[in-house]
Structure 1
Amino acid sequence: MEIGYIKLYRKITNSFVWTNPNMLKLWMLCLMKASHSGNKFLFNGKEVVVSSGEFVTGRDAIAKEFNEGVPRDQQIVGRTLWRWIKKFEEEQMLSIKSTTKYSVVTVKNWNEYQASDQQVSINRPSTVHQVSTIKNANNAKNANNAKNKDNSRQSARRTYDENSIYYQLALSLFKEIQNNNPEARSPNLQTWSDDIRKMIEIDNRKPEQVTNMIHWSQSNDFWSGIILSAKKLREKYDQMKIQANKAVIPTKKPFYNNATSTRKETLPEWAKEENQQVEEKPMKEEDKQELMERLKKIQSFRKD
């Protein structure tokens, strides 16, 4: 990376990268990696010539530089960083030309706002740095004063990574809604992710509870027509929870049908055996005759 400085314009505060500290860091890394006036790089054993505003990188290389000195639990994986770089390309901030071994990234409009001033070397007198710093500080103060009213009215917007639990739950809700209505329009999943975050962080809902309520609401005939956004899911959560807890199997049919439902129970084995023991069986003829003889003897004893 070259020694010197880069110019960072204040209008970046109006950009989507300003709302995500890691995304802002990645954009600044791209600006700092870009060659000031053209150079040659040795990348993966191959010499690559770049022009001003260009740099050579790859997914693993950019991840290594980005995460240098960052605690392991706070590092951003390479695939996420590369997806952000692709987002920069979609927003016309840079362009990418890739080969099987490396990619050449070109910062758009580099010459218009970076190459107009000479690059400052580390040997440049400190007084120059001081004057520039004071001037920039005054300009920043004036700009901030002009924007104070607007900034006070706007809350900081967050950008949620697609791998985050908030984004995934928001996406899950939309897919369930889409299953009920294939013509449902795609929502702003970033806004939905923020509502899901509030459910978990502010309302103290567990992610599995939110997941279960998403599924229950979209499988319920009534609530599936009401819960059409993450905001509604949050608003109606307690009401749906009460109804979901009362959802038990009725012992009678609805009031408009007077007939009660009949529950069939399986007769236990011991009861079957008892029934079989008391069951009447037809008496054989010889048994009848024997019984009659005994009755006659009993009657004769009584006469005597």
Structure 2
Amino acid sequence: MNEPLIPGGCILLARKVIESSIWEKPPLYIKVWVYLLSKAQHKPYKGLRRGQLYTSIPEIIDNCKWRVGARWEKPTKDQIFNIIEWLRNPEKGDSESNAKATRKQRESNAGTTMITTTKATHGYLITIDNYGFYQTFDNYESNGESNDENDMAPSRDPHGTPTNPDNTNKNDKNDKKKTSSRQRKAYAEDSRPYKLAVYLHEKIMSFAGALGLAHLVEGANIQSWADDCRKLLELDKRDPQEVKRVIDWATADPFWQQNILSPASLRKKYTELAVKAAGKSKPVKRTGALEDKNAEAKQKIRELMELERGGSQEALSDNAEHV
């Protein structure tokens, strides 16, 4: 019997969080961080982009309180303000609060921010930086690759010396196997499939930006796209230059640009698109009645992009059957 769905949806939290600088901060820091992640929009809604939320310090105080026996304890305004400032610039916060911060910690925080804030009428507009990347499941290794109890990485003391040396050699071999496995899945940036994936992504970004929807495709998994491009070139035997011409035509056409939002959809409709492009059928300009359908086009692109994101993991799994 199927279990009922858990209401309210979910957020993704990387296992690596326990190795990050926020894990070394007081517990209230991670609590506020999880609260912000949970309240951020998973998809555009009422003027908010994906990964954004409106909030205020009093609201964070009220939602991050905790029980001590029968009474509630609340964080102070200064505590929440300091946490928000640290999330805006972890490197600066650590250097000011701990002059003896480790080199590893300083390097891991270098040039990074976790949130961007803008003052709003009653508080802040907070944008979670790189929300689209970290909240996309396809950007993570599978649990089998990274969390197998039988091939855990050796624990180390503060000086980096393994504390369980018996497992070191075993883990070195496992690490090499994992690296080799990941390399077989990855496409170099100068490879033809990767370049073609980037080319299509840039074309989609250009018209999505004109519609104010660029944020929907910013977090696309280019490695997954590159794998679909490889199938298009190697399995379907498509000419790279012809593929580019088809992409140019399809992403300029008002109808097809709403339907070709990934290499998978391009591959599915390729024959039809190639025939139209070869016939030098010029894309219809968006004028008159087509202009009136702008809002409808935006909604359709939103829905299709969500479906594409949901299907990207399946697309990657298909790789094993075709290689």
TM range (shorter): 0.3 to 0.5
Of structures 1 and 2, the larger Rg is shown by 1
Structure with greater helix percent: 2
Q: TM-score, normalised by structure 1?
A: 0.37
